[in-house]
Structure 1
Amino acid sequence: MVRYYDHTGPFPLELGGRLPDLRIAYHTYGRLNAARDNAVWVCHALTANSDVADWWPHTVEEGRFLDPARHFVVCANILGSHYGTTGPLHVNPATGIPYYKDFPPFTIRDMVRAHRLLADALGIDRIAALVGSSVGGFQAVEWAVMEPERIENLVLIATSAKASPWTIAVDETQRMAIEADATFGQPRDDAGMAGLSAARAIGLLTYRGPRGYNLTQQDREELPAAHRASTYQQYQGEKLCKRYNAYSYYAILNAFDTHDAGRGRGGVAAALNRITARTAVVGITTDIIFTPSEMRELHGMIPRSVYHEIDSPFGHDGFLVEHEQLNDILYPFMNQ
């Protein structure tokens, strides 16, 4: 069941704006033990929510690396999201209507600062394991650099310490699709939906990559009326529109591009050298967003880190699909 933490008073944002108040939606699984040393914090990706068991199949189960019998698993919905934490569809107290496109810009560091408030409220002084994949990994890297003393173990899956020009270009292409929708910017919950659908279809190309598409979307007829790959793109765009909104998607893409663990810290290498957590870095063989070579480079800059690789044809989405391989890597790591 989703829970909420309400932070009273203003929440300043790194880019100069501020929120007059802050609500954080979160889920927990298992119980915090008497020593308060069994907390496992999961940072979620772009359009996921705080219910890890819902979007990450076969992970929050007995015998899995997020075993609620062993761990107190926490996942907080990120700032700007559509799933309960303060975001563009929340009412701006200054105007009495939702923020929509006027939601103040925020960064990955702001997301982490919000998570830190919740961790304090839950009485979690020490996080036994901090787990993040994709944009969730951005948050995990930032938190481990920001508060190295709080994080005992760190798991980084298909992610990076800095948004690359390639990933920023992908995000900009998605933003262009949203901006091309003439309804985007209108004060309506459903504004920009056609643009959001197109943006999601663009994003999916990078999530799965050519091997994933060629494996799963082959036509079954020689001359079909509609290609499977075409209907798949349309379906996935429509599917996201049923559960998300263009303003949150746009705002989080902007936050994605701010990610740079080395900003103000002497560069990425110097920042990562601050991490004291025992760390597992996990790449995916066919990931074209965060390539295996980039993941190995990340591993090389983090002290006390080990590197593993998932073999999957499903690209970046391999971390969601290959749960058996992932568990074989992470269950021993987290339960040593």
Structure 2
Amino acid sequence: MKHSFKYQGKFLTELGSTIINPEFAYHTYGEFNPEKNNIIWICHAYTANSDAADWWDSMVGEGKFYDPTHYFIVCVNYLGSCYGSTGPMSINPETGIPWYRSFPDITVRDMVKGLDLIRQHLGIEKIHTIIGGSIGGFQALEWSIINPSLFTHTVLIACSVKTNPWAIALNESQRMSIAADPTFEQDIPGGGTNGLKAARTIALLSYRNGKAYNLTQAESNEEVVTNFKASSYQRYQGEKLVKRFDAYTYFLLTKVLDSHNIARKRAGFAEVLKTIKAKTLVISITSDILFPPEEQAYMASLIPGAILKTIASDFGHDGFLIESELLSKLLSNFYQT
């Protein structure tokens, strides 16, 4: 079920900006058990939304691994997104028009601050499992550091302690693509749409990899000289995204990704990670070129008692969304140990 929560007051961001009365969209599935210890909190990835049963339907739903007949499941559309929570396309109360490019820069920690507002609103004092992949993993990691006693289990998938230069470079190329669209600077609905299409195709190359493309986009006709399957696939994915997302939100979120670093304004990585109290499972994907397995191995080595597992997949970073059977087995074993 979809819900909305409006925070009454000033939301102070990590970088010193103020957002007045931010709103948050979130979904819940199932019911609390009498002990209120059956809560699964899912942190969604980049362009996803709070309806985890939709975008992660292989894992969430009746008969699936996270079954709402057994769990109370929460997923919040994070601050800065465009699926009901306050972000660049929301109305700025000081101007009466959408924020567009003037929306303040935010960080993963601000996203987590928003998640915690929903936790308090729901009266949740303990979370059985927090789980997330990619930027969802960034949120799960940060929250496990900020409030280590809140979680019994933490599951971190295809993420890292900080965003690497390769990922930052990819994000900069995407921002350049959006900014090259002259409509982006007009701050209008639909501004930057063509740039967003191009940016999405850049991102897809890092979400998958050469092997995945070669497996799924190969030509069966050796006479083809134009309009290749790979080309039409890229165009299709760009068109598909702009039907549900906007360039202003996308541009902002690439900057959020870039700024992720758990050591910022704290001690070093080892000192920060050793504060995590939850039983932790770290999962890498063998073919992930965005946040490669060595980054999860490093993270797991510094979290007390963390278990490191790897999913063998040809589908790169997106493997955590695709390899549900393998992921379910890892989670089942994790809960039983």
TM-score by length of 2: 0.97
Per-residue deviation, 1:65: 3.1
Matches within 5 A, 1:70-149: 70-149=70-149
In structure 2, do the counterparts of structure 1 residues 134 and 105 end up closer, same or farther at CA, with 3 Å as the change threshold?
A: same
Describe the SS at the equivalent of 2:127. Answer: coil
Residue 187 of structure 2 corresponds to: 187
Describe the SS at the equivalent of 1:312. Answer: coil
Structure 2, unpaired ranges of 5+: none
Amino acid in the other structure paired with 2:262: A
Residue 330 of structure 1 corresponds to: 331
Amino acid in the other structure paired with 1:19: I
Whole-Å separation in 2 of the counterparts to 1:32 and 1:189: 40
Where has structure 1 moved over 2 Å in runs of 4 or more? Answer: 61-65, 331-336
Describe the SS at the equivalent of 1:25. Answer: strand
Residue 218 of structure 1 corresponds to: 218
Deviations 1:164-217 (A, max 9, x none): 111111111111111111111212120000110000000000001111100000
Alpha carbons 1:162, 1:268 under 8 Å: kept: no
Residue 308 of structure 1 corresponds to: 309
Residue 200 of structure 2 corresponds to: 200
Residue 251 of structure 1 corresponds to: 252
Residue 65 of structure 2 corresponds to: 65
Residue 177 of structure 1 corresponds to: 177
Whole-Å separation in 1 of the counterparts to 2:117 and 2:333: 30
Describe the SS at the equivalent of 1:152. Answer: strand
Describe the SS at the equivalent of 2:57. Answer: coil
Alpha carbons 1:299, 1:307 under 8 Å: kept: yes
Mapped pair 1:293 → 2:290:
no
Q: Aligned pairs, how many?
A: 336
Residue 275 of structure 1 corresponds to: 276
Per-residue deviation, 1:62: 4.0
Mapped pair 1:262 → 2:263:
yes
Whole-Å separation in 2 of the counterparts to 1:8 and 1:276: 32
Describe the SS at the equivalent of 2:208. Answer: helix
Whole-Å separation in 2 of the counterparts to 1:131 and 1:198: 30
Mapped pair 1:240 → 2:241:
yes
Residue 164 of structure 1 corresponds to: 164
TM-score by length of 1: 0.98
Alpha carbons 1:27, 1:50 under 8 Å: kept: yes
Amino acid in the other structure paired with 1:216: T
Alpha carbons 1:88, 1:99 under 8 Å: kept: yes
Amino acid in the other structure paired with 1:326: L
Describe the SS at the equivalent of 1:256. Answer: helix
Alpha carbons 1:64, 1:327 under 8 Å: kept: no
Whole-Å separation in 1 of the counterparts to 2:30 and 2:201: 36
Amino acid in the other structure paired with 1:308: K
Matched-pair identity in %: 48
Describe the SS at the equivalent of 2:161. Answer: coil
Per-residue deviation, 1:266: 0.7
Whole-Å separation in 2 of the counterparts to 1:220 and 1:167: 33
In structure 2, do the counterparts of structure 1 residues 279 and 63 end up closer, same or farther at CA, with 3 Å as the change threshold?
A: farther
Describe the SS at the equivalent of 1:197. Answer: helix
Mapped pair 1:27 → 2:33:
no
Whole-Å separation in 2 of the counterparts to 1:84 and 1:50: 9
Per-residue deviation, 1:335: 5.9
Alpha carbons 1:262, 1:269 under 8 Å: kept: no
Whole-Å separation in 2 of the counterparts to 1:257 and 1:267: 18
Alpha carbons 1:144, 1:275 under 8 Å: kept: yes
CA RMSD of aligned residues (A): 1.1
Per-residue deviation, 1:57: 2.6
In structure 2, do the counterparts of structure 1 residues 31 and 335 end up closer, same or farther at CA, with 3 Å as the change threshold?
A: farther
Structure 1, unpaired ranges of 5+: none
